[in-house]
Amino acid sequence: MKQSYYKKGKYCIFTYGCQMNEHDSEEIAWMLENIGYEHTDNIEDSNLIIYNTCLIRENAELKVYGKLGELKKLKRKRPDIILCLCGCMMQREEIRNIILKKYKQVDIIFGVNNIQKLPQLIDTHLQTGKTIVDIEEESRQIEESIDAKRKYSYKAFINIMYGCNNFCTYCVVPYTRGREKSREPEDIICEAEKLSKEGCKEITLLGQNVNSYGKTLNRDYNFSMLLRNLNNIDGIERIRFMTSHPKDLSDDLILTMAQCDKVCEHLHLPVQSGSNKILKAMNRNYTKEKYLSLVSKIKERIPNIALTTDIIVGFPGETEEDFEETIDLAKKCKYDSAFTFIYSVREGTKAAEMKNQVPDEIKHKRFQTLLDELYPIFNENNLKYNNKTVEVLVEEISKNNPKMLTGRTRTNKLVHFKGNKDLIGKLINVKIDTTKTFTMEGHILDNSIAGGDIFE
């Protein structure tokens, strides 16, 4: 049996996947520090190693198997290390079975719906020395007593709902995260107020489809109402959210975004494809025409808005003509940025059963064509920022250039500029000097005080 010295051990945590997983890791870190663990980035130095996994595409899954292989050696050298796996991959029984059979160095497996049990699972493992597997299929019990060890003090994620009911035919999320469940608005508002008292300036509301927020509450309350309530909190200067499903984006939400001064001029509106045939096969419940009309409505109401999206190429049955429709839509929407994906077959989803899978070679070719079309559009959007003054929330020292700081505009553009690191966490005005496809560079204005939008 292992000694019970875990109260002074060190932990490290590796996170794959989306912001939801990132935030789960922040909650896990908070719980571990509550029971006496200390954080380290050095895996060799750890007593507890956690991999928070993602299942969205095959390569996310393969990365974890690769890491587990590498860890065999470390575990042989230091068998006292506790190795835990959690996250979306662990919700699949077949995957758990593979891990239990092939990667015997794993000590604890838990899922996305019971992360609050981790301290208890560690205890049980330490007492019995056994491999523990604890998975909850039902979507997460809303646990209000857990806090999070947030990476930044000035910006924070807030979960507003868990799970997803949409069953897009390519996607594993409804199978890993369970059915949609909204948190009570009072709890969300209370969390935002607490964050604001601690100096947080920017909140990002998380949900797989924030536009359907409130549907599982026992009263008449929706996402727009939540935004309006959060907009009243002193100290919170910026409100972001992800993700919006186009099928549920209401006129009321567009109006709310336009009227709430703290709601940033950025909308992430995943389109996935521009072909009506493919959108239908994906079970997305909107057409290209409906999407385009939404986009023009939004741009009309909020002229400076930055629009970003997710696009999948090579969904089963996608022909050259279908792909052309996607390119055509992307050109019409003039996206500011996009996450682009090659369709990845996910076991258990409807699309995995479809017979007309697109050959890899064609998928890769279309992917490259899509990037070649998108990058000049991103670039052109950024050019408009030249010589303009933007409000930037200073985030950190640039990873590539220690002499520069980076921050984001309200439209979520990444800006580099020279400045003192004391500015981190502050809102300042930066004048843009040069722009590129993904970033821009500028200088701080001497009389910098936070402003609002781009000054024309």
Interface residues toward ligand SF4, by CB under 6 A:
164, 166-168, 171, 173-174, 208-209, 245
Q: Does 177 bind ligand F3S (CB under 6 A)?
A: yes
- DSSP-based three-state secondary structure for 332: helix
Which has the closest alpha carbon to 141: 111, 165, 169?
A: 111
Dihedrals phi, psi of 433, to nearest 5 degrees: -105, -40
From 48-56, 67-75, 318-326, 373-381, give the range in contact with ligand F3S by CB under 6 A.
Answer: 48-56
- Measured CA angle at 274 (ends 271, 278), to 5 deg: 95
Q: Say if residue 200 carries a ligand binding annotation.
A: no
**Cα–Cα dist 418/421, whole Å:** 9
Q: Does 56 bind ligand SAH (CB under 6 A)?
A: yes
367 contact, one of ligand SAH, ligand SF4, ligand F3S, none, CB 5-8 Å limit per kind: none
Closer CB to ligand F3S, residue 210 or residue 298? Answer: 210
From 15-23, 65-73, 114-122, 151-159, give the range in contact with ligand F3S by CB under 6 A.
Answer: 15-23
Q: Cα-atom radius of gyration of the chain, to the nearest Å?
A: 23
Unique residue bearing structure tokens 């999320």:
173
343 contact, one of ligand SF4, ligand SAH, ligand F3S, none, CB 5-8 Å limit per kind: ligand SAH
Q: Say if residue 86 carries a ligand binding annotation.
A: no
Q: Does 56 bind ligand F3S (CB under 6 A)?
A: yes
Unique residue bearing structure tokens 């979306």:
88
Residues in region 65-94 near ligand F3S by CB under 6 A? 87-88
Which has the closest alpha carbon to 171: 207, 208, 140, 139?
A: 208
CA quadruple 337, 398, 410, 54: dihedral positive or negative?
positive
Q: Does 115 bind ligand F3S (CB under 6 A)?
A: no
Would you give the DSSP letter of residue 248? G
The encoded tokens of residue 24 equal: 């789960």
Sheet-wide strand order for 202-206 = 155-159, 202-206, 238-242
Q: Does 390 bind ligand F3S (CB under 6 A)?
A: no
Q: Does 243 bind ligand SAH (CB under 6 A)?
A: yes
Q: Does 286 bind ligand SAH (CB under 6 A)?
A: no
Q: Does 51 bind ligand SAH (CB under 6 A)?
A: no
390 contact, one of ligand SAH, ligand F3S, ligand SF4, none, CB 5-8 Å limit per kind: none
From 50-58, 94-102, 273-281, 321-329, give the range in contact with ligand F3S by CB under 6 A.
Answer: 50-58
Strands 389-397 and 404-409, sheet pairing: antiparallel
- Measured CA angle at 173 (ends 172, 174), to 5 deg: 95
The annotated binding site is made up of 18, 54, 88, 164, 168, 171
Applying CB under 6 A, the residues found at the interface with ligand F3S are: 17-18, 20-21, 54-56, 87-88, 172-173, 176-177
